[in-house]
Structure 1
Amino acid sequence: MLKNSWIAIFALKLMLAAPSEAQEPVLDYSASLAAYNAGDYRTALNNWHSLAEQGHPASQCSLGYAYEHGFGVPQDYSEAIRWYKAAADKGDARAQAFLGQMYEKGLGAPQDYMEAIRWYTVAAKQSHGWSQSKLGEIYRRGQGVPKDFVSAHMWFNIASAVGDPMASFRRAELKKSMTLVQVAEAKARARVCMSSGYDDCKKPHLRSR
């Protein structure tokens, strides 16, 4: 694999993976990421292994991503799921999102849309825009759930509001297949969902006319 291509891909993914100030050891993780982007993969991966074994979720997520794509290690979907799961259980939204995608695609585990939805939803409730867009796509396509354009539009609305770059485009495309009443309902549900801290995202909020 060409060095520059997978540095760029991995660095782009990891821009969303910066640990919070409360996580430790932040400096070791940041130094490892810098080493990885500089091409010193052995140092970075060795450090991530060490930090991951200590329970550092950002390192666990990064290690899972490396195993998923074979970046610096042999590609191993089962190992990727193991590390994603470890980080996801600690509340790491990126790991939850990546784990959802593994189940959606059937990588390292049988394809399971309901398990994918579960993990995307957990991440979405942490305002993870990519996961919110993934939920929109799942409802748009009817994967594991009945096809539901209103729910799909709602999640695209929410993802757009938190800054997901593709959500607005997907929402605009979906709108072409919806009635004005459906679009209004989706917008109303998005407002309620966000104002409730993602606790109330399923009930209709427009009265029949």
Structure 2
Amino acid sequence: MPEGFTDWGIMYDLGYGVPQDYSKALEYYQKAAELGDARGYSSLGVLYANGYGVAKDDAKALQYFQKATDMGDAEGYNNLGLVYAKGVGVNQDYFKAITYFQKAAELGSARGYHNLGVAYKLGLGVAKDEAKALRYVQKACAMGYQKACQPRQHLNRAIRFSQVLPRGQINS
């Protein structure tokens, strides 16, 4: 089961019940990806996007996120949206970012809803709409994404890549 390899990768990535070890996380994510797990690809992208245990490589991150989206992974779409929102290895394009965030949300990503909320709050690729922003972050909160549960505090900040793209892709 490739999903099990991704779960092991997350454990080593974040140090859940085991000593944190990025090289082991990388190994498990690679194995999961080789076996066809989209979360494995997305998690590999996060390692490369942030330089966790590997040399930061925007091109590899983009490649892994794209592979995850090709497989229909909601978090892959969210991560690809973040790549375009921040212009990481690509030209910054808020319109593309919004498209990917919307697809992520449609596929059930709380982070996708949250990032849509941030985009509407700040007017990134869409017209500013505080009511819509609040609805999106409330939806993300209801789905269990804790960072979205304090929208006044969180929505007043710009999208920060490492903040909304945590290691391990754990939906907390």
Judge same fold: TM > 0.5, yes or no.
yes
Question: Displacement of 1:171 after TM fit?
Answer: 5.4
- 1:166 counterpart SS class: helix
2:82 corresponds to which of 92, 95, 101: 101
CA distance in 2, matches of 1:173, 1:87: 27
Higher relative contact order (CA 8 A, sep 6+): 2
Deviations 1:105-127 (A, max 9, x none): 00011101011111111111233
Matched, 1:147 2:128: yes
CA distance in 2, matches of 1:70, 1:83: 14
What residue in structure 1 maps to residue 64 of structure 2? 83
Amino acid at match of 2:76: A
CA distance in 2, matches of 1:41, 1:172: 31
Judge conservation of contact 1:157–1:171 (CA < 8 Å) in 2.
no
CA distance in 1, matches of 2:34, 2:68: 11
Give TM-score scaled by structure 2 length: 0.75
Question: Displacement of 1:100 after TM fit?
Answer: 0.9
Question: Displacement of 1:33 after TM fit?
Answer: 3.6
Q: Which runs of 5+ in 1 are unaligned?
A: 1-23, 175-209
Which protein shows a greater Rg?
Answer: 1
How large is the Cα RMSD of the aligned pairs?
2.3
Question: Displacement of 1:167 after TM fit?
Answer: 2.9
CA distance in 1, matches of 2:10, 2:114: 27
What residue in structure 2 maps to residue 119 of structure 1? 100
Amino acid at match of 1:29: T
Percentage identity across paired residues of the two chains: 33
Q: Which runs of 5+ in 2 are unaligned?
A: 156-172
Judge conservation of contact 1:133–1:159 (CA < 8 Å) in 2.
yes
- 1:91 counterpart SS class: coil
Give TM-score scaled by structure 1 length: 0.63
CA shift in 2, pair 1:28/1:156, >3 Å:
closer
1:123-202 maps to which residues of 2 (within 5 A)? 123-170=104-151
